Amino acid sequence: MDRYKEEFIEFMVDCNVLKFGDFVTKSGRNTPFFVNTGFYRTGTQLMRLGKYYAHAIRDNFGLDFDVLFGPAYKGIPLSVAASIAISEDYGREVRYCSNRKEVKDHGDKGILLGGPIQDGDRVVIIEDVTTAGTSIRETLPIIQAQGKVEVPGMIVSVDRMERGTGRQSALREISQTYGFKTAAIVTMAEVVEHLYNRPYKGKIIIDDALKAAIDKYYQQYGAED
């Protein structure tokens, strides 16, 4: 596993973004792990988060694109932080762009904020965690309505690797439905690989009992791919 992935996993633990215990997802599944990106709250945290995203974007899609689009609301700071990091770390200028939930009819009018999307643009979408496709169904038509654009792919922070509406993972379903590549900074398999029975700051985060609970969860809800 690349070192930046290991650092990102530890970063999530330090920020209290990655938690283990007994949780219930929006879909009603009881899960032994939870990812809450709302706990990235400081300037330093957002700066580091942007750098991890930038690294993963470069690895998975390259840097030959024009716009980094973050769907409202959580995608807004992600698109800003990652576009800054792409500029600082790789010397590539890309525009950040996000949608508004409500169309603004005065001042900076329209449904978009940030850089405009134009004919011929290549647009990479940035999100927080694996989605069920709801956000994409809402925002992809907005992107495509701006002109003749290409979407090379979508990046998220963590691939939960569980089933979407069918037997495949939500990320794989999105890729097959919309015809673009999907990727994550890390997968839950990589999280388990890095933290299982390995001390981090003097503590075992994933012990045998928690590993068994995670395995049981994936036996029931894990994706087939």
- Active-site residue numbers? 104, 106
Contacts 24+ apart (CB under 8 A), 218-224: 218/161, 218/162, 221/29, 221/31, 221/162, 221/163, 222/161, 222/162, 222/163, 223/161, 223/162, 223/163, 223/164, 223/167, 223/168, 223/169, 223/170, 223/172, 224/163, 224/167, 224/168
* Token duo for residue 45: 């945290």
Beta carbons within 10 angstroms of residue 131's beta carbon: 20
Give the containing element (helix H, strand E) for 24. strand 18-24
Under a CB-based contact definition with an 8 Å cutoff, are residues 196 and 188 in contact? no
Cross-strand pairs, 186 = 158
- Quote the CA–CA distance of 71 and 124 in Å, as a whole number: 11
